[in-house]
Amino acid sequence: MDKLYLAHSYFKRHKYEECANLCTQLLEHNPLDQAAWVMKMRALTEQVYVDDLENLEEGLAEATLDDETIAQVPRPGTSLRTTAPSTRSGPTQGMRPPSIDGRTLTGVVRPYSRAPRTGSIEQALKTPRTAKSARPLTTASGMRSRIGTSSIITENGGPFIQLSKLNFAKYAAKPSLGKPLFEYIYYCENDIQRALEFAVQGTQKSNFKDWWWKLQLGRCYLRIGLVRDAEQQLRSSLRDTPSIIGLLMLARVYTRMDQPLAAIQVCQSGMEYFPKETAMRVEIARLYEGLGDLCKSVNLYRGVLKEDATNIEAIACIGMHHFYSDQPEVALQFYRRLLQTGIYTAELFNNLGLCCFYSQQYDMTITCFERALNLVDNKEAEADIWYNIAHVAIGVGDINLATQSLRLALMADPTHAPAYNNLGVMEARQGRTNVAQSLFQASAGLAHVLFEPHYNYAKLAFEAGQLHSGYVMVKKALIAYPDHVPSKNLLDALKYHFQH
């Protein structure tokens, strides 16, 4: 059988390593075989391909040194960087608390949603657990370097392609060679500067009429942080030929510039060209979720399920919405659907255990948490599981089990702020006020967006006669959650004592 035909068959069957090996043999016999050369480039590219659209993280440097900000204090409902939007709809913060970094709890964890959403360096450095570790995210370019280091393919006689010796103008004039070569440079070599130079040559050789080269220009500009240039190139590409990836990338550009309404408008205009495409609806749902409009977000996710009944993100987000809307029985059906699709993770069994507990299916609760503990593979998820087991123990009245579970959660993740807060509540019930106050302070220091530790500390301080400390903490609680009625009542009581 012809080796080139066999290599093409391997490529179509996603056996990229076998395809690359066959192409290497062909190139050893004939180094000028362009067909084998292109096939090998495509096979190596597919081996290391990553959907960079989902990895457009905004690191600490981008969040704090942003020069694209128009207003320091944006209008409510127009910015993704406000941790407590005033235009919320649906469950309040008391029913659906935020995550450690202030992001609204969602059904899935997205890479770009972990980044610090604040313009303050001090608050960004105080925000832990933003990248599955206790340190804040570094610049996005550092993350891309770590992805690319494992993708450098070397041959016995040196690298497969020596980029420094390539004549970009020659290859850019041949689209059949230039486009696979660009993808190889972009994904395998991870050399964004050369990829940008090559994309410029390709755009010029096509007389600025090829939408694909303009799209790659926008991709490169976005990677190096030139968001305005990326916006210009992506809009030019969309004027020539509307494409799903171009629309989504332009929406991410506006998200990077903290203009979610413009990103929503781009996705809505894209739905006119691609009415059955669920990626547009998912992107709009994410943006509304970031703005705090949870009802619109859930309605869009329901629209996604009408088009794609197996969309995991939509199922998970709707299930979490029903759980925090005090409908655990409905949420249980959605999580069971995820289990039927083949997802078998500790996080899913953790959620199933909570839904079973609040649905009063106590026989399944312990089984689900046991499965979750057996499947857990990271300390962060393990801490969440023990934290939820403590909730179950509190619900059945087993205080000793609750205390022990909270301590196990802190052993797994010493930065778990809710565990510190609940352990402080347990210590306060046993009369150890000083220990409880220390735990509340630790919880408040780890997560400034949580109102519970501030309120609990203020309440203890008020009962102990420490009026000034109580006043300071209750004000912080109201900043984190302005609609918390007990905090308002405690503030009124403190003001009454100050006046009399």
User: What is the tens place of the pLDDT at every residue in 149-201?
Assistant: 333 333 455 567 777 778 888 888 888 888 999 998 998 888 888 899 999 99
- Residue 150 is predicted with a pLDDT of 34
Give pLDDT, residue 154: 39
Q: Is residue 34 part of a domain?
A: yes
6 in a structural domain:
yes
CA distance 104 to 119: 18
Average pLDDT (351-367) is 91
Place of tokens 């392609």: 161
The answer to the question of residue 1 being in a domain is yes
Residue 91, phi-psi category: left (phi > 0), alpha (psi -120 to 50), beta (remainder): beta
| Calpha distance 132→224 (Å, rounded) | 24
pLDDT at 254: 92
Q: Which residues pair with 89 in a beta bridge?
A: 293
For the segment 328-355, the average pLDDT, to the nearest whole number, is: 92
Q: Is residue 36 part of a domain?
A: yes
Average pLDDT across the chain, whole number = 82
Range from 130-134, 298-302, 451-455 carrying the lowest mean pLDDT: 130-134
On whether residue 42 sits in a domain, the answer given is yes
Arithmetic mean of pLDDT, 251-257: 90
Q: Of 82-86, 116-120, 152-156, 361-365, which one has max mean pLDDT?
A: 361-365
Confidence of residue 299 (pLDDT cuts 50, 70, 90): very high
| Chain segment 1-14, per-residue pLDDT in tens | 788 889 899 999 99
Question: Given the structure tokens 């030019």, which residue do they identify?
Answer: 236
Provide the residue range defining the domain that includes 13.
Answer: 1-48
Residue 21 within a domain: yes
Has residue 27 been placed in a domain? yes
Instruction: Specify the pTM.
Output: 0.81
Residue 34 pLDDT class (50, 70, 90 cuts): confident
Q: How far apart are CA 120 and CA 117, in angstroms?
A: 9
Give the residue among 200, 208, 131, 165 at the shortest CA–CA distance from 380: 131
Question: What is the number of domains present in the chain?
Answer: 1
More confident residue, 339 or 82: 339
Cα–Cα dist 386/369, whole Å? 9
441-474 pLDDT tens trace: 888 888 777 888 899 999 998 888 888 888 999 9
Domain annotation covers residue 367: no
